[in-house]
Amino acid sequence: MTYALGAVVGIAFGAVIATIKYFALWRGYMKKDAKDVGSRNDVLLRCLISYFINAFALLVVFLVRNVIPDSCNWIAMIVATAVTISLLGKLYPVSKMV
């Protein structure tokens, strides 16, 4: 049960981080026309910021491992957070095309 609870908390935390990251970094960029996209450096900067946000989210989970109750497994939580951030990062842009 501790693994399931950790996974649920990790999925919820990862979903919040991925949603905030998408709306803050990528949504406005993806709404632009092809001619107004900007330079390649703009995309690279957004990718770099995205990587730092991902690393920060996983660092937060790692640092709160001693604060969360024992009924929540932090390893399951960090794995679920990483998987959720990764999957939603791929699915949000696809949902725009559909």
pLDDT > 70 fraction of the chain, expressed in percent and rounded: 84
| Domains: count for the chain | 1
Q: How confident is the model at residue 12 (pLDDT cuts 50, 70, 90)?
A: very high
Q: How confident is the model at residue 91 (pLDDT cuts 50, 70, 90)?
A: confident
Q: What is the DSSP string of 30-94?
A: HHS-GGGS--HHHHHHHHHHHHHHHHHHHHHHHHGGGTS-TTS-HHHHHHHHHHHHHHHHHHHHH
Query: Which residues form the domain of 39?
Result: 2-97
**Each residue of 69-84: pLDDT tens digit?**
888 899 999 999 999 9
